[in-house]
Structure 1
Amino acid sequence: MHFTRRAAFLALSLSTLASLPALAADEARYNQISLRAEASQEVARDLMIVTLYTEAQNSDPAKLAADITTRMNKALGQAKAVKEVSLSQGSRNSYPIYDNKTQKIIGWRERAELRLESSDFAALSKLTGELMQDLKMESMDFAIATATRKTSEDALFKEAIAAFKARAQLATEALGGKGYKIVSLNLNSNGYPQPFPRGAMMMKAAAMEAAPTPEVEAGKAKVNMNADGVIEVLQ
């Protein structure tokens, strides 16, 4: 009987101790408020991206490949001479051409791409016009450069936190509190927009008519950062 009473007392003590964290958790949630603040900024699309390509067909796949390689090497040589522009070769693929009746291979078609990027719109526009004497344009897009994105993110980070603290202070005053402490805080960006495509007609016209390099306006993109968190108002 004595052993049974000691066991029961021990079980009761352990149960009481186990309930203490739960009570502490209940107290920690006292006077807690969820808040959201937002900071936004318009960021210039300061990176121009141009994709050019060449395409041809021939019954001899070796001659076709040699022709495409010659065109691409010439374009690469021209592009490398412009230091303000970075370049990379895009996809290159070939596929057979079939006779409609016999379904036999009667030739081959091959296509190769060249991708150009620069923050110097004038230099890239001029180069694009020159390359379009031999190549065709697939697309012209505008994006936010990596360095610009990082600078913008750092600024928005500070602004979002400041906005959250201002809202937390406002909530504290409305509840008659003496102060507050931040329980949790999460910062999330809505992400930077994808490259914005522009029509290539003006570049085609410039290449065909040997007109002066056209002015290019890339525009801006609005970027948001949200600060979601929980504060505890101190009484």
Structure 2
Amino acid sequence: MYTPRRSTAALLTVGLLTSLPALAEEPRYNQVSLRAEVSKEVARDLMSVTLYSESQNADPGKLAAEMTRTMNKALEQARAVKDIKISQGSRNSYPIYDVKGQKITGWRERAELRLESTDFPALSKLTGELLQDLKMAGMDFAIAPATRKASEDALLKDAVNAFKSRAQLATEALGGKGYKVLNLNLNSSGYPQPYARGPVMMMKASMDAEVAPSPQVEAGTSQVSMNADGTIEVQMP
């Protein structure tokens, strides 16, 4: 019985030694996190205008009726123009007190009208007409959602190619012989704030002119970006 045990032990030792070269030949990898970004300037093609009416009266009922007539007139004018998105903003009324702050002497009301369009000439002309009865709270320019999506889709392929270029550079810097992508995330870098222009600087003519002035349009551009974030494994020799 002693001799077979020695033979079994010898066989196990030989088997273990035989498996060691196979383990040593397994490829070795190093993980690397990378980020690539591509961007381009895109014209702001969406114009938004906020107009408002503000008035006061000792009789709150008369004040509300007056404000309603003014805003209804503006709405009718705006609805007559094609491709204009119309929405009513906030409408608030609040009391006016005497110098002692104890007695209500009147009421003040404010109502807003918001207009939006990609047709700049039409919205600019309409704004000039509405300024006969309303005041301008602000004018903004942004990239329309459909334009932004098209721009991001066009940048997606560029972002992937930029990531692959960085992955190759990282592989060469580490002395690797190849790499594989473990994960890759593609995202836009966020939405820039609308570009606002103050109403005073945009008037082509004085408010005292016989013809209603039209706001000048200088929309400018915004940068649209696409990021590629991911991790690769670099195969070492």
Give the corresponding residue for 1:9.
Answer: none
Residue 202 of structure 1 deviates from its aligned partner by: 4.7
* 1:28-67 equivalent positions in 2, closer than 5 A: 30-67=29-66
Summarize the alignment of residues 156-171 of structure 1 with structure 2, pairs less than 5 Å apart: 156-171=155-170
Counterparts in 2 of 1:1-235, with a 5 A limit?
30-101=29-100, 103-206=102-205, 208=207, 209=209, 210=211, 213=214, 215-235=216-236
Alpha-carbon distance in structure 2 between the residues aligned to 1:213 and 1:34:
53
Alignment check: 8 A CA contact 1:51 1:139 kept: yes
Deviations 1:73-95 (A, max 9, x none): 00000000001211110000000
TM-score, normalising length: structure 1: 0.82
Is the Cα contact below 8 Å between 1:133 and 1:207 reproduced in 2?
no
Query: Counterpart of 1:149 in 2: which secondary structure?
Result: helix
Structure with larger Rg: 2
Are residues 155 and 64 of structure 1, via their aligned partners in 2, closer, same or farther at CA, if it must alter by over 3 Å?
A: same
Residue identity matched to 2:80: A
SS at match of 2:100: coil
For residues 97 and 178 of structure 1, what CA distance do their matches in structure 2 show? Answer: 79
Structure 1 residues 128 and 203, CA, compared in 2 at 3 Å: closer, same or farther?
Answer: farther
- What residue number does 2:17 align with? none
- Measure how far apart 1:160 and its partner are: 1.2
TM-score for the superposition, normalised by structure 2: 0.81
More deviation, 129-138/175-184: 175-184
Q: CA RMSD in A?
A: 2.1
Aligned partner letter, 1:36 = R
Unaligned segments of structure 1, at least 5 residues: 1-26
CA distance in 1, matches of 2:181, 2:73: 61
Matched position secondary structure for 1:30: strand
Aligned length: 209
Cα distance in 2 for partners of 1:129, 1:29 equals 70
Moved >3 Å (runs of 4+)? 173-178, 202-207, 211-215
Structure with greater helix percent: 1
CA deviations 1:89-133 (Å, max 9, x no partner) are: 000000000111361111100000000001111111100000000
Give the CA deviation at 1:230.
1.1
